[in-house]
Chain A
């Protein structure tokens, strides 16, 4: 099973709303990631969790708040977003930070629209 599951698939939220994106994997992977992808652009790394601890934050605004409740789950809490935050948000996992040759497996993404 090489599946990373993201919910919801689509989300429309107002600028004053609070919402959360969820990601789950059952491959025993110890590294999990959030990426943001705008149309016709490459995915941009936002956060990396390694063994349930935040190891990388690529200077992401505080209106995005990641959480890793356990080794299988990754959340992204959203608050007071701006229309320019509308994008495809991709979750990924890999065997572990520092381990050789472990590609990242991606979920189907959440298409977020901020109105």
Chain B
């Protein structure tokens, strides 16, 4: 059974602080995706990570992938309130585009 686990599940952080969200998965996969979801809304694609060692950055968010450790991280730098949302990682099985989502991390940035 494929497991995709994130930690922490809930994260409350102050503006200006840094933090990292972790995504561990149990299957062999070279492809890892990060999504953002605002309350009551759909999912917005943030990053696509396609190989071991891949690193992508956009604004205050940076994502990385270690396929050997089956671990991806989403690092938040100098958090701002607008980053408050739920963040999901998703793993794509090697057999094709089947996106299995992690447990999610609900992030609240406090002024």
Contact = CB atoms under 8 A, between A and B. Distances in A.
A106 B37 CA distance: 11
Categorize the interface residue count of chain A: 20 to 34
B101 A42 contact: yes
The secondary structure that dominates the A interface is: loop
Contacts of B96: 31, 48, 50, 55, 97-98
Contacts of A48: 96-98
Interface residues of B, number: 23
B110 to A, nearest CB: 20
B97 A107 contact: no
A90 B101 CA distance: 13
A108 B42 contact: yes
B45 interface: yes
B31 A42 contact: no
B22 interface: no
Interface string B64-97: 0000000000000000000000001010000111
Nearest to A90: B42
Interface in A28-44: 31, 33, 40-44
B27 interface: no
A43 B104 CA distance: 10
A104 interface: yes
Interface of A: 31, 33, 40-45, 48, 50, 55-56, 90, 92, 94-109
| 7 nearest CB pairs, A to B | A97-B96, A42-B101, A106-B43, A101-B50, A106-B42, A98-B96, A103-B45
